[in-house]
Amino acid sequence: MPLQSAQSLLFSQSRPEVPPGLSGRVVAAIEFEAIRRLRFRLRVASTCSFLSIILFFVNLTLVGEGFLTSDFWLLTALLFSDLSLVLTHLEAFLFSLAETFPAASASLLLLPVFLSIVALLFRSRYAGADRLLQPLQLNPIH
């Protein structure tokens, strides 16, 4: 018996039939997974948006308090009380202003801004993702 016969016998082994509906079940499972992932991502985006708003107001209060109790604010007040003195020693005044600027508390304001950017990125990335919430289109492409 030549090799061809032996191989053709191995090749001719019948394939099991694909159970009816298996393809549909796979599509349904993928749709379910797609919706689950999309909802999760949108939930993350919403949470980020919400947290950024809360944080913004909290930080605004903290930063506001920090400003009002800082030397920076006292120096700034000089602008209104004794402008001529400020103009005379303008360079020294600007240096002092820069030195006393409460940078740490001001940077706190960046956190909600960062969160807002993350949320916006999520939103924009999945802006067209509502198509995933629709059932997969079964029309073949051409």
Per CB under 8 A, 23 contacts another protein:
yes
Q: Mark the segment that binds another protein (CB under 8 A) among 20-28, 74-82, 92-100, 118-126.
A: 20-28
The 3-state DSSP class for residue 34 equals helix
Question: Nearest Cα to 102, choosing from 131, 135, 130, 65?
Answer: 65
Q: Mark the segment that binds another protein (CB under 8 A) among 3-11, 38-46, 54-62, 111-119.
A: 3-11
Neighbours of 120 (CB within 10 A): 14
Question: Nearest Cα to 112, choosing from 67, 45, 42, 57?
Answer: 57
Tell me whether residue 26 is exposed, middle or buried, using C-beta atoms within 10 angstroms of its C-beta: 0 to 12, 13 to 18, 19 or more.
exposed
Neighbours of 10 (CB within 10 A): 8
Report the amino acid identity of residue 63.
Answer: V
Please select the residue that binds another protein; options are 7, 47, 88, 124, rule is CB under 8 A.
Answer: 7
Q: Mark the segment that binds another protein (CB under 8 A) among 8-16, 72-80, 86-94, 102-110.
A: 8-16
- Site string (78-117) toward another protein, x via CB under 8 A: ----------------------------------------
Interface ranges with another protein (CB under 8 A): 1, 3, 5-7, 9-16, 18-19, 22-23, 25-27, 29-30, 33-34, 128, 131, 136-141
